């Protein structure tokens, strides 16, 4: 997955998570936790991709 595509997904999911959290009124609601975990996985994907790029080039990836 390309970084820009993942970043767009992260931004969209972050917004959806904020809305869902307000609707549910709790960070502990199962649907909020599931969405938060999806967001975590995308963030980790970006970190892994950037770490690999840094190891290969020595250049820090910037948005």
Domains of the chain plus CATH, in order, are 3-57 (4.10.280)
Q: What's residue 63's pLDDT? A: 52
- pLDDT tens, residue order, the chain (63 aa): 578 899 999 999 999 999 999 999 999 999 999 999 999 999 999 888 887 665 666 655 555
Structure pTM?
Answer: 0.75
Residues 6+ apart with CB under 8 A from 43: 10
CA distance linking residue 18 with residue 29, whole number of Å: 13
Spatial CA neighbour of 46 closest among 29, 61, 56: 61
């Amino acid at each position: 997955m390309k970084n820009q595509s993942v970043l767009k997904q992260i931004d969209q999911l972050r917004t959806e998570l904020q809305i869902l959290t307000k609707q549910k009124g709790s960070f502990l609601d199962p649907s909020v936790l599931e969405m938060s975990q999806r967001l975590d996985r995308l963030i980790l994907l970006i970190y892994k991709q950037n770490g690999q790029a840094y190891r290969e080039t020595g250049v820090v990836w910037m948005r």
